[in-house]
Chains A and B, each alone.
Chain A
Amino acid sequence: MRDPYEMLGVSRDASDEDIKRAYRALAKKYHPDLHPGDKEAERRMKEINDAYDRIKNDQTGDDGGAYQQQQSYGQQSYGNYGPFGGFYGNYRQNESQEPNEIRAARNYVNAGHYQEALHVLSTMEKRDADWYYLSALANYGAGNRVAALQHAQRAVQMDPEDPEYQQLLLQLQNGGGSMSKMGAISAWV
């Protein structure tokens, strides 16, 4: 089976948006409405669709056809979609009092939209340990390794008892190495 990235004409480290753009361009080119009765165009279209599905299934850790079934039972949880997977977890004890911005930032991080997460965080004046923790995750995802490390350190300083902060700091200090072992690694590393 050919490499799905190659079939869409993008590199393996292409961004999510580039993959979607490439898929759209090819789908427009080979759309059956433009080539009525053309078997070759039909075959190409099917190939492109399969390639896109395979990339998406890899990203979300689904194995092909399981997608529909999982959705219909509503068993998917938020954290499953981002590269941090169950890493951040879906729920924290102290979440109930958190401001809307923190919640939005977590949602963005879990979904892998780090720039948006950073933007939301930048609008906040109150910066507590959780703010620094989320900022560390968002920065790491956005490729800002040094800022990520600094913010993780700050989170641990502010709340030395929190095991999640410690774990993140440890992983960052190890160059993110153990992150991959936890299944948290993804296309962006």
Chain B
Amino acid sequence: MFGYVTANTALLSADELARWKGCYCGLCRSLASLGGRCRLTLTYDLAFLTLLLSSLYEPEECAAFARCPRHPFVKQPSWCNEATDYAAQMNVLLTREKLLDDWHDDRNPFARAAAAALRSPAEAAAKGFPRQAQAIRGALDKLYELEKSGAPDIDAAGACFGALLSELFVWKQDRWEPELRAIGDGLGRYIYTLDACLDLPADRKKGRYNPLLGLAPENAVTEHFRPALQMLLGGAAGGFERLPLVRDTRILRSVLYSGVWARMPTVEKKEAQP
């Protein structure tokens, strides 16, 4: 995905930082268990999902302390549970579908090769979670159609990605489904819109499709969209605060209220240059 959904580690205590890193390492280990290449798909976005679902359902955890290809010299603490394994499978599913898209859109041979390497674990995940697999495919197909039509419509495009993520956030269809959907929807729309913001200058220069074209004046910068981004995240925050979470809440809030904005300074720097 995009890697936007990450913690602001500067706000975390040493224990919280270890917990967050352990979540990420656990996700990586769970990915490795799905097949050798899966490890390369690791993103922070799904680490957030792991931590959120772990806090909500509190499944039994198993801790590990070991070396791995990413950390070949120093042993790393990590923890895994059922939520980690779920997030790992979603990660593989999502990455493979995106790679297939890249192959179809740009005829990128690397995307095709990478997608082929993920075929077997992705198909297994799709079999285990058909609802999520269908939602991913459906949303990406719809995005493709929107792009082909050439009509810039950020709300429609953002809604596609919101629908995709909300389906992923609903692990078990229980009483927390509306809240989890709100978080997934808000984050999905936010991620999509932020990504479009970041691409806008280059897309404009090269005459490519961008869902924000026409919405902003010719020389508008990312800041123009800040109120919209803030509003989209508000939907996610509202769902989050309704969930009865007590564990790891400081880490989760450091993602939702701070970490997700981390890309903005990069943009500002880029914009400052002539």
Instruction: Decide: A20 and B238 in contact? CB cutoff 8 A.
Output: no
Q: Binary interface profile of B, 250-274, with partner A (CB < 8 Å = 1, else 0)?
A: 1001100110011011000000000
Q: Binary interface profile of A, 98-130, with partner B (CB < 8 Å = 1, else 0)?
A: 001001100110011100100110010000000
Q: How far is the CA of A19 from the CA of B226 in the complex (A)?
A: 33
Interface of A is mostly: helix
B272 to chain A minimum Cβ distance, whole angstroms, is 11
Instruction: Decide: A120 and B231 in contact? CB cutoff 8 A.
Output: no
Chain A hits for B250, CB < 8 A: 116
A residues 48-105 near B (Cβ < 8 Å) are: 49, 52, 56, 60, 67-68, 71-72, 74, 76-81, 90-91, 95-96, 100, 103-104
B residues 220-243 near A (Cβ < 8 Å) are: 223, 226-227, 230-235, 237-239, 241-242
A24 to chain B minimum Cβ distance, whole angstroms, is 6
Q: Which residues of B contact A (CB under 8 A)?
A: 8, 10-11, 162, 175, 178, 181-182, 185-186, 189, 223, 226-227, 230-235, 237-239, 241-242, 244-246, 249-250, 253-254, 257-258, 261-262, 264-265
Listed A/B pairs (7) with beta-carbon separation below 8 Å: A20-B245, A74-B232, A76-B234, A79-B234, A80-B234, A100-B264, A116-B250
Give how many A residues have a beta carbon under 8 Å from the other chain's beta carbons: 38
- A40 on the B face (CB < 8 A): no
- A23 on the B face (CB < 8 A): yes
Known contacts A21-B246, A74-B232, A96-B226; is-contact A81 B241 (Cβ 8 Å): yes
Instruction: Decide: A71 and B239 in contact? CB cutoff 8 A.
Output: yes
Chain A hits for B261, CB < 8 A: 100, 103-104
Instruction: Decide: A56 and B242 in contact? CB cutoff 8 A.
Output: yes
Instruction: Decide: B231 and A111 in contact? CB cutoff 8 A.
Output: no
Known contacts A100-B261, A103-B261; is-contact A17 B246 (Cβ 8 Å): yes
Query: Which one of A27, A78, A103, A120 contacts B237 once the chains associate, using CB atoms below 8 Å?
Result: A78
Query: Which one of A27, A49, A123 contacts B10 once the chains associate, using CB atoms below 8 Å?
Result: A123
A183 to chain B minimum Cβ distance, whole angstroms, is 17
Known contacts A71-B181, A71-B185, A78-B231; is-contact A108 B257 (Cβ 8 Å): yes
B190 to chain A minimum Cβ distance, whole angstroms, is 11
Known: A60-B238, A100-B264. 6 other contacts (CB 8 A): A23-B244, A76-B238, A78-B234, A80-B234, A116-B11, A116-B250
Instruction: Decide: B257 and A104 in contact? CB cutoff 8 A.
Output: yes
Instruction: Decide: B227 and A68 in contact? CB cutoff 8 A.
Output: no
